């Protein structure tokens, strides 16, 4: 079996290329974006070919990855052929160059050329009649450019049932329901595979080019509209799958409140400012709530989705009237005493105000207003509880612990969060604060997610 090493920092491109090339060439795909890991893979796996992005940014550090790999191959006297994505020059070695925006056919032709794959070998690698594509890809599509199928397995055969017609709009909520029912792939006819793969690939490659021009880190750009630094997501143990579900939920929430001028205006102010503390805190809290929810006794399937929807609204609306970053970091009545009268009144009553706002729009999930009132431990939505109680909603308890965890995470830099001593310090503070069993259970879950 062929071994192809993909070195790329954009997760979407990595996934699309990996899935496509593994099918087309019956290949084992090895992948990374880290220099050390790439060298380890080259030493121990001995890939037949390397595909590497010329350069990219990770954590604001610019990495000349193609140059690094070519120098390493020269040092170890390796003749592994290389395909570089993006402008590149090097004085020696076996390599070919593709532009930043390439088509999958061009990449395949270079692989065939460099590996000297014969026509007979290609015929043996023939695609099946229906080719799988990971279901997550279809969140990126608005219109189906080809017929889309699901696979039903019977005792005697595989059946492929058309679920979306060519040129039909793609309902993201329907895609999410399939994913929640453990459907991992949609299928397309093999004749359409290259076309659809190119369509998805061009979207991601365009992002890479735009990011390179802007100087931003590629790892800060996720596949959907809403995102934060990948380092924060990694530090707290939220999976890519959960990030996608959380993003869909945020988009659905934004869409559902379009008919309420005040709510849509307030939430737009947050979502349009991804660099703000409010956005980062709310996004991280929402993603963590989605990650923790399946581990609670909140049901499965549609019932669980409804609870996660509530947590999305809670994450983004609980502090909707607080605009000052310092006000968002207040967790006690004692801290309010240091504020001027008007600011103090706003901080003390913000939960009750937000709950009333939610009540004014009937399309919001039932019970969110109650959770908002309880998110600082009181039942009235006024002030902060002096001592946490088990007598509030279990969902409010989960949220209280997660919000405080998000607060501690955002108090540290990405570099600090990589240090296990820093993470242990955060959990020490959480265990000190949340001693009741119902609260401590959530700290235990978050601790386990962080470790894994």
Q: Which of 186, 258, 250, 193 is nearest to 224 (CA)?
A: 250
Mean pLDDT to the nearest integer, 53-75: 88
Instruction: Give the right CATH number for 3-124 from 3.40.50.2300, 1.10.10.410, 3.90.550.10, 3.40.50.300.
Output: 3.40.50.2300
| Distance of alpha carbon 338 from the chain centroid | 38
Residue 219's pLDDT band (boundaries 50, 70, 90)? very low
End-to-end CA distance of the chain: 31
- Per-residue pLDDT band at 221 (split at 50, 70, 90): very low
Q: Would you state the pLDDT for residue 303?
A: 84
Residue 288: alpha-carbon gap to chain centroid: 11
SS (HEC) of the chain: CCEEEEECCCHHHHHHHHHHHHHHHCCEEEEECCHHHHHHHHHHHCCCEEEEECCEEECCEEECHHHHHHHHHHHCCCCCCEEEECCCCCCCCCEEEECCCCCHHHHHHHHHHHHCCCHHHHHHCCCCCEEEEEHHHHHHCCECCCCEEEEEECCCCEEEEEEECCCCECCHHHHHHHHHCCCCEEEEEHHHHHHHHHHHHHHHHHHHHHHHHHCCCHHHCCCCCCCCCHHHHHHHCCCHHHHHHHHHHHHHHHHHCCCCHHHHHHHHHHHCCCCCHHHHHHHHHHHHHHHHHHHCCCCCHHHHHHHHHHHHHHHHHCCCCCCCHHHHCCCCHHHHCCCCHHHHHHHHHHHHHHHHHHHCCCCCCCCHHHHHHCCCCCCCCCCCCCCCCCCCCHHHHHHHHHHHHHHHHHCCCHHHHCCHHHHHHHHHHHHHHCCCHHHHHHHHHHHHHHHC
Mean pLDDT of the chain: 86
84-115: pLDDT as tens digits:
999 898 888 899 999 888 888 889 999 999 99
Q: Are 115 and 106 spatial neighbours (Cβ–Cβ below 8 Å)?
A: no
Residue 132 to residue 217: CA distance in whole angstroms: 30
**Cα–Cα nearest to 126, from 194, 17, 26:** 26
The first and second tokens of residue 246, run together, are 């959380």
Q: Where are the domains of the chain?
A: 3-124, 130-205, 224-451
Query: SS3 for 30-45, per residue?
Result: EEECCHHHHHHHHHHH
Is the pLDDT score of 225 beyond 60?
Answer: no
Cβ neighbours around 385 below 10 Å, total: 16
- Its pTM stands at 0.54
Can you tell me the distance from the alpha carbon of 353 to that of 345, in angstroms, rounded to the nearest whole number?
A: 11
Count CA atoms closer than 13 A to 369's CA, side-chain side. 13
Q: Which long-range contacts (CB under 8 A, 24 or more apart) does 422-430 make?
A: 423/235, 423/450, 430/401, 430/404, 430/405
From 84, 104, 97, select the one nearest 200 (Cα to Cα). Answer: 104
User: Mind listing the pLDDT tens digit for each residue in 231-288?
Assistant: 667 667 777 777 777 888 888 888 888 888 899 899 988 888 877 889 899 999 999 9
Convert the pLDDT of each residue in 137-174 to its tens digit: 887 777 888 999 999 987 788 899 999 999 888 888 88
Q: What is the mean pLDDT of residues 196-218?
A: 58
Q: Using CA atoms, how far apart are residues 90 and 331, in angstroms rounded to an integer?
A: 57
* pLDDT, position 95: 93
Min mean pLDDT across 217-226, 323-332, 381-390 is at 217-226
| Whole-number pLDDT of residue 217 | 39
**What's the pLDDT at 337?**
92
Burial of 201 from C-beta contacts in 10 A (0-12 / 13-18 / 19+): buried
Token pair recorded at residue 144: 């189906």
If one compares 201 and 361, the residue with the highest pLDDT of the two is 361
């Amino acid at each position: 079996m062929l071994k192809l090493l993909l070195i790329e920092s954009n997760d979407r491109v990595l996934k699309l290329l990996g899935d496509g090339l593994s099918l087309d060439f019956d290949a084992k795909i090895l992948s990374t974006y880290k220099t050390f890991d790439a060298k380890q893979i080259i030493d121990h796996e001995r890939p037949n070919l390397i595909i590497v992005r010329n350069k990219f940014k990770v954590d604001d550090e610019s990495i000349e990855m193609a140059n690094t790999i070519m120098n390493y191959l020269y040092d170890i006297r390796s003749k592994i052929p290389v395909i570089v994505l993006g402008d590149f020059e090097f004085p020696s070695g076996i390599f070919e160059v593709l532009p930043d925006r390439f088509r999958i056919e061009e990449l395949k032709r270079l692989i065939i050329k460099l590996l000297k794959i014969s026509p007979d070998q290609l015929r043996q690698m023939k695609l099946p009649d229906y080719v799988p594509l990971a279901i997550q890809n279809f969140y990126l599509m608005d219109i189906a450019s080809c017929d889309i199928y699901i696979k039903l397995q019977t005792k005697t055969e595989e059946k492929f049932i058309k679920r979306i017609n060519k040129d039909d709009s793609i309902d993201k909520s329907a895609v999410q329901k399939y994913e929640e029912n453990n459907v991992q792939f949609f299928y397309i006819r093999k004749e359409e595979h290259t076309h659809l793969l190119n369509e998805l690939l061009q979207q991601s490659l365009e992002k890479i080019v735009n990011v390179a021009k802007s100087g931003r880190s590629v790892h800060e750009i996720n596949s959907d509209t809403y995102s934060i630094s990948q380092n924060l997501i990694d530090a707290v143990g939220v999976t890519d799958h959960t990030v996608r579900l959380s993003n869909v939920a945020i988009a659905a929430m934004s869409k559902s409140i379009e008919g309420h001028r005040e709510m849509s205006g307030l939430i737009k102010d947050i979502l349009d400012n991804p660099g703000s503390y409010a956005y980062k805190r709310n996004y991280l809290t929402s993603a963590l709530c989605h990650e923790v929810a399946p581990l609670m006794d909140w049901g499965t399937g549609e019932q669980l989705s409804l609870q996660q929807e509530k947590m999305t609204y809670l994450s983004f609306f609980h502090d909707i009237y607080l605009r000052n970053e310092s006000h968002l970091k207040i967790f006690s009545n004692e801290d309010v005493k240091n504020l001027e009268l008007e600011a103090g009144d706003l901080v003390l009553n913000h939960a009750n105000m937000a709950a009333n706002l939610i009540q004014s729009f009937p399309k919001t999930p039932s019970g969110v207003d109650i959770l908002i009132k309880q998110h600082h431990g009181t039942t009235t939505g006024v002030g902060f509880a002096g001592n946490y109680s088990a007598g509030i909603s279990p969902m409010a308890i989960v949220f209280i612990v997660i919000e405080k965890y998000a607060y501690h995470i955002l108090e540290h830099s990405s570099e600090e969060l990589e240090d296990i001593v820093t993470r242990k310090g955060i959990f020490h503070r959480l265990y000190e604060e949340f001693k009741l069993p119902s609260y401590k259970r959530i700290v235990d879950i978050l601790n386990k997610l962080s470790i894994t």
